[in-house]
Amino acid sequence: MHEQAAPRILAEQISEQSYLDRLRARNRRGKVGRTFFFSANIIALLALLTLIAHIFNQSMGLVVIRNTVEPSTISEQPLTELSEHELENLLVEQLGGRTRVVIRDRFSQVPAAEFTNTPLRDALSVSVPAEYQDLTINDVPPEGWAAILEANLSPDNMLDVVNEQIIQPTVITSWTLLDSIFQRGSIEAQAAEKYPDDTLQFRSWISWDFITSSISSSATTAGLRTALLGSFWIILITATTALIVGISAAIYLEEYASDKNPIARLIGINIRNLAAIPSVIYGMLGLAVFVRALGDFTSGAAFGITDTNGRTVMSAGLTLALLILPLLIVNAQEAIRAVPSSIREASYGLGATKWQTVSRQVLPAALPGILTGIILSLSRAIGETAPLLVVGASTFIGIDPNGPFSKFTVVPIQIFQWTADPKIVYRNVAAAAIILLLLVMIVMNGAAILIRSRLSRRY
């Protein structure tokens, strides 16, 4: 009896030892995997922090500024103390006929070749005094130029124009923040030797003036306001369109379409495939459909608004909506599918209809997951450049977009333009714009995450 039990006991011991060996091996592999995972995350985080620190280092520092015209030679008072009327007269007096170019660049809504031959009521996108509406810009006297500027520019904007067009401050050279802190003495000595007639000062491009100023051909007066407003309008149209279409499509595919329906299966397959298409292809689609085929609608011509050839905020917003729809629909489908079937059954058991069950039970329960898709989708949309360039975004525009039918530029395109500029000082301006874009994305995502967290606790 004992002789028969011994092999069994031995086999059990061997089996137990083998199990323990396999368990230890699996634990070792798990530790190695966790080590690689945490190491990769730490390396990625350090790389991200290094990149942000490098960008921040470029966004401020000591600069040498040279004025083309010194303010003291054209006004006894500091320019900041002059009234708007005095600034307008100063601008017209100093620029003369070049004032027409300023008006054209800031307010024109027609091609430059047609500007001088078009009545101002049609040539400008802003208000024009009644006595000059039927005249061309060449027929308007100098006091008319001043009146147009007075009607459409605030005192701060007028001061920006004076600085840009008359004073024309230029950054001769610049240093990074770290160099400005740790090598300030040598920098001051170098500036005094090489640039004795110019001004050495510390400048931060991350400022309220940078946010509220319009784009300029000078790095010292360049601002991000026009691009920020363009991004805001485009994201507003993108979010509105994509949310309505995307969530509706996800509800149909998950709650109403049969699994055996070949059309529904084909739509689902295409949606997943569309998520992998390069964004520039969506730009070509937007150019063909929204700019050319539907140009009367996207330009506002169908509503009596002056035609802008369809290259408007509306076209850009609809193009980005197409871009993020696949990602939004897939995430919304997964969130709806994750809602337990018991919730639906309980709702039907209480006599609710299909739509009442979906709208009052399923959607609220799936909302946190849907918001995750919205966060990911809009974060991608706000940083896109390629499709907007194809659709017709401007790389230099001095007019703020004020509606869905306006011409536009966006922050990523503005950054692209500044980084491509051969003047080295524009790297500082681009760095400040990148920091602000990151802050906008962090605020937007943080708000969405906070809303998602509150909805998760509620439902």
Which DSSP string do the residues of 373-425 spell out, in sequence order?
Answer: HHHHHHHHHHT--HHHHHHT--SS--S---STTS----HHHHHHHHHH-SSTT
Asked whether residue 375 carries a pLDDT value surpassing 80, the answer given is yes
**pLDDT band at 10, cuts 50/70/90?**
low
For tokens 């809303």, what's the residue? Answer: 451
Give the Cα separation of 264 and 259 in Å (integer). 7
Calculate mean pLDDT across residues 333-357: 89
Per the prediction, the chain carries an average pLDDT of 84
- 18's tokens: 């083998």
What kind of architecture, by CATH, is found in domain 228-458? Orthogonal Bundle (1.10)
**CATH 1.10.3720.10-classified regions of the chain:** 228-458
Give the Cα separation of 365 and 433 in Å (integer). 38
Give the Cα separation of 450 and 237 in Å (integer). 22
User: What was the pLDDT predicted at 171?
Assistant: 87
Asked whether residue 394 carries a pLDDT value surpassing 80, the answer given is no
**pLDDT band at 307, cuts 50/70/90?**
low
Asked whether residue 112 carries a pLDDT value surpassing 80, the answer given is no
Asked whether residue 166 carries a pLDDT value surpassing 70, the answer given is yes
